Amino acid sequence: MKGEDGSRAVPRQEAGVFGLKQQQQLRRFAPAAEPEQQQPGPGRLQLAGPVPHHPGEEFSHVQQRDDGGRSLRGRTAGRDSEGSWTQVRPGRGQLRVSCHVLRRAGRGHRGDPDPGRGAAVLPGHAEVGPAVRSDLRTRTGLLTRPLLHRYIYCDEIDLCADTVLATLYAAKKYIVPHLARACVNFLETSLSAKNACVLLSQSCLFEEPDLTQRCWEVIDAQAELALRSEGFCDIDTQTLESILRRETLNAKEMVVFEAALSWAEAECQRRDLPPSIDNKRLVLGKAIYLIRIPAMALEDFANGAAQSGVLTLNETNDIFLWFTASRKPELLFCTKPRKGLAPQRCHRFQSCAYRSNQWRYRGRCDSIQFAVDRRVFIAGFGLYGSSCGSAEYSAKMELKRQGVPMAQRVIKFFSDGSSSTFPVWFDYPVQIEPDTFYTASVVLDGNELSYFGQEGMTEVQSGKVTFQFQCSSDSTNGTGVQGGQIPELIFYA
């Protein structure tokens, strides 16, 4: 985009948000001024006259021209009361580009003194935090220029994990909403426990509430995996505090404490401090009190937090008194355990029964396929127990996607002889994507006879989630949609 003097657009520095170096990066990002005799390409804007400087003044000299230089009908631009112009380029993307026209004092790009000429300035949106500002400056200039040009001129979007965040930053900066939405969709589909904490920080930075909510869903349900991920150590202090403050984390408090120490060590390296105990406590600051240390098991506290050196002697002594004394001291730490997430259950049978010759196992597999209409996290199964009194069972449980195991566990559970279901849990909840069939399997070993389900349903509504069931070729013990085992799926949503 060119100003009246043919110079390139110069970004505006707003309220100290964008500094000189960032303006230089964005100048590199702006398309170079083309020679006067060169015809504009498809989708480019051509200034046919001087830009008016009076708010409210209408103009129609900004036109879009095709390859042959002809003006395209119905694509005019207007100026609003704030001195802004808007040009709409119809097409698949329906791209809307807007900017402000301001007076720029000083010399132009060609060195001529020109204090009164106008320059198009693109407004910024999100304030960039210090942890990511430097990276975004570099990546925006070096990686996203061809991506933005390809989208603006050709309506093509080509995203990858290495460029999507920088592209989103540039799309927000230059007000390209459809490209920004594509970036957010890309991030949502690639969201997992490994990157949820980093994307949470970025979603707050880019003011994307939907992406923020998706990140929280993953962090809450798979809290221990998210806290132990490498990306957790890369978040900023504000994001750290919001996670430590979270009431619905499904994690042991000892895991939260260990994750905070790992973050503190990484933060010491970012600040060029030795990773000593004192420095870890220094960089944690008041965030240490968001860890609910008194809610730990006494054994975890005695063997872990009490010997870490991060707590002062007075804090350690008071917490020990909190665990053991009848008259408990006042603490700066929260003493109530986190509520976590309440597990939900999808029951696929309408009744259950038992017969003298059913249900036998003999090492065979009971399996069923299922799909959901929104992202959920499978935490375990509900299984039937013995129909001949109390008994103990050994269960090998497995969850697969397209034949690839996603989670496995061998666990024992006790059956009291009733027709109730008994929960068995995976080590960690497993993320289940919508509109994809997964296979739930279990091999039971125990009493030869057990209850089994009947009057099975192919579709079950459980809360806001719809489950669909179909038979699995892995089932070799008779379980199917209409009857058999695995009566319940336990999940978080």
What CATH number does residue 152 fall under?
Answer: 3.30.710.10
Residues 488, 382 contacting (CB under 8 angstroms) = yes
Number of domains the chain is built from? 4
Q: Give a yes or no: residue 2 inside a domain.
A: no
Angle at 184 between CA 182 and CA 190, to 5 degrees: 105
Its pTM stands at 0.68
pLDDT digits (tens, 9 = 90+) for 169-206: 888 888 888 888 999 999 988 899 999 999 999 888 88
Q: Provide the 3-class DSSP secondary structure of residue 364.
A: coil
Q: Which helix (H) or strand (E) holds 318?
A: helix 313-324
Query: Quick one: 257 and 282 in the same domain?
Result: yes
Which residues of the chain are modeled with pLDDT < 70?
Answer: 1-145, 355-358, 447-448
444: which strand partners?
395
Torsion, Cα 476 480 483 489, to 10 degrees, reads 100
Q: Give a yes or no: residue 439 inside a domain.
A: yes
Residues 431, 192 contacting (CB under 8 angstroms) = yes
Query: Quick one: 148 and 59 in the same domain?
Result: no
Q: What is the structure's pLDDT at 378?
A: 96
Q: Give a yes or no: residue 330 inside a domain.
A: no
Q: Give a yes or no: residue 227 inside a domain.
A: yes
| Terminal CA-CA length for the chain | 47
End position of a domain, from candidates 190, 209, 230: 190
Query: Quick one: 349 and 440 in the same domain?
Result: yes
94 burial via Cβ count (<10 Å: 0-12, 13-18, 19+)? exposed
Q: What is the structure's pLDDT at 313?
A: 94
Print the SS3 string covering 70-94.
CECCCCCCEECCCCEEEEEECCCCC
Q: Give a yes or no: residue 377 inside a domain.
A: yes
Stated length of the chain? 493
Query: Quick one: 251 and 375 in the same domain?
Result: no
Q: What is the CATH number of the domain that holds 307?
A: 1.25.40
- Closest to 225 measured CA to CA, from 195, 254, 268, 262: 195
End position of a domain, from candidates 121, 147, 172: 121
Q: Give a yes or no: residue 334 inside a domain.
A: no
Query: Quick one: 162 and 247 in the same domain?
Result: no
Residues 387, 450 contacting (CB under 8 angstroms) = yes
Query: Quick one: 103 and 146 in the same domain?
Result: no
Q: What is the structure's pLDDT at 99?
A: 32
List all residues 6 or more positions away from 222 whose beta carbon is below 8 Å from its beta carbon: 193, 196, 250, 377, 428, 429, 431
Q: What is the structure's pLDDT at 114?
A: 37
Instruction: Tell me how many helices (H) and strands (E) the chain has.
Output: 12, 18
Q: What is the structure's pLDDT at 61?
A: 34
Q: Give a yes or no: residue 142 inside a domain.
A: yes
> Peptide bond before 359: cis, by omega within 30 degrees of 0?
yes
Query: Quick one: 109 and 203 in the same domain?
Result: no
pLDDT digits (tens, 9 = 90+) for 287-316: 999 999 999 999 999 999 999 999 999 999
Q: Give a yes or no: residue 478 inside a domain.
A: yes
Q: How far is CA 431 from CA 126, 428, 442, in A?
A: 31, 9, 19
Token representation of residue 111: 């060195």
End position of a domain, from candidates 121, 140, 175: 121
Which region, left, alpha or beta, applies to residue 91 given φ > 0 means left and ψ of -120 to 50 means alpha? left
- Closest to 462 measured CA to CA, from 390, 382, 396, 398: 382
Residues 158, 147 contacting (CB under 8 angstroms) = yes
Token representation of residue 173: 């900066």
Range of the domain at 298: 198-324
Query: Quick one: 376 and 458 in the same domain?
Result: yes
Query: Quick one: 460 and 357 in the same domain?
Result: yes
Query: Quick one: 102 and 33 in the same domain?
Result: yes
Query: Quick one: 237 and 178 in the same domain?
Result: no
Query: Quick one: 91 and 165 in the same domain?
Result: no
